Amino acid sequence: YKFIAMSSMAIALIGFLVWGHHMFVSGQSVYAGIVFSLLTFAVAIPSAIKVFNWTATLYKGTIIFRTPMFYVLGFIGLFTIGGLTGLFLGALATDVHVHDTYFVVAHFHYVMVGATVMAYLGALHFWWPKMTGRMYNEGLGILSAVIIFIGFNLTFLPQFILGYLGMPRRYHVYPPEFQALHVASTLGSTVLGIGYVLPLCYLIWSLRFGKEAGPNPWGAVGLEWTTTSPPPHENFEKTPVVTTEAYNYHPFEEEV
């Protein structure tokens, strides 16, 4: 927890200082470019700490592969790809070649759309039973997570290649040798759109036809899962009694 908290603060602080990496080809001072390049690489350190922390949390855990976990794993994968490709844009030697190309478009979407939306959908699916008191279709939930992950990669991985080959962004006319990759990206966006519409359908359906979730459909240990779904006014009908530390899964084993 402390590493995640400190890395979040580090990203927020260093993130204010990396704006110059967007201006490597603008004619700014060479020394300014070196400083901004180093700062951009520095922000990758706390970002990597987060990924390692999330992965280590899963290590040797009893992982239940239900819909929220599929979204979480997809988030980690997309966030990692987005972070690693950002290093190419932080390096002066490579940024001058891929600046203002489809490479930048792909990197931005992996971090700000792919990873963020996957995390949001994972949280939405996790809290949906508590918010509504109803369960959604588990099979459709897993299917949507897989479709979104495949569709997103099919949309934006070709754009990395396009950027590497020199395809500028914001151009609607391009050489014919780029056609196949553009078609693949368009096909991927169609798959991605289907993946995004699917949760909207089955979540709305669950409001009326989903089975009752009960107070704790995930077997979680937080206080929020001891109250009804959805919670009553002021969350608890009576003040809960806390007997163990938060997320203490094996209190009796420790006593023995």
Query: pLDDT tens digits for 153-173?
Result: 999 999 999 999 999 998 888
Alpha-carbon distance of 148 to 71, in angstroms, equals 9
Query: pLDDT tens digits for 15-59?
Result: 899 888 888 888 888 898 899 999 999 999 999 999 999 999 888
The label of the residue with tokens 């990669």 reads: 153
Alpha-carbon distance of 218 to 64, in angstroms, equals 9
Alpha-carbon distance of 247 to 231, in angstroms, equals 21
The pTM for the full model equals: 0.88
- 212 by DSSP, 3-state: which? strand
Least confident of 6-10, 19-23, 147-151, 187-191: 19-23
Structure tokens at 164: 């590497």
Query: pLDDT tens digits for 216-230?
Result: 999 888 888 888 999
At 100 the pLDDT is 92
